[in-house]
Amino acid sequence: MKIAANDVDQASAALLADLKQRGLLDDTLVIWGGEFGRTPMGQGTGRDHHILSFAIWMAGGGIKGGITYGNTDELGYRSVENVVSVHDLHATMLHLCGIDYQRFSFKYQGLDMRLTGVEPCRVVQDVVG
């Protein structure tokens, strides 16, 4: 695990440094995350999967740098502070790309659908720079 983390850390840092050096970081939204949450508990050789919390990091593209947003319980099992839904994340990403998620819709089976889904969501202003 330590080797894999080091490889990801070095590559991610190199990408951000390159974008910054070329003057592209302010216009490029970088998002890093896994496909699901992980608990600190493990089974066999890995950690358990779960859907109640997940962690990502974002940089550039209008993101406020150097902050941590949200928190889980002491077991890392459930989001408990500044909870951000997947729909909120998508609304925030669209906002940072200059797209009003409330107005951007597409026809699907005769309905106007949003990329953020049909459930209420919000732009997480606390992470926008």
> Residue 64 has what DSSP assignment?
P
Beta strands, E only, the chain: 30-33, 37-43, 46-50, 56-59, 71-72, 79-81, 105-108, 111-114
Question: For residue 78, how many other CB atoms are within 10 A of its CB?
Answer: 13
Residue pLDDT, tens place only, 30-81: 999 876 677 666 666 666 677 788 889 999 999 999 999 999 888 777 889 9
Mean pLDDT of 92-110: 92
Question: For residue 96, how many other CB atoms are within 10 A of its CB?
Answer: 19
pTM for this model (two decimals): 0.84
> Residue 128 has what DSSP assignment?
B
User: pLDDT > 90: what percent of the chain?
Assistant: 57
Question: For residue 70, how many other CB atoms are within 10 A of its CB?
Answer: 16
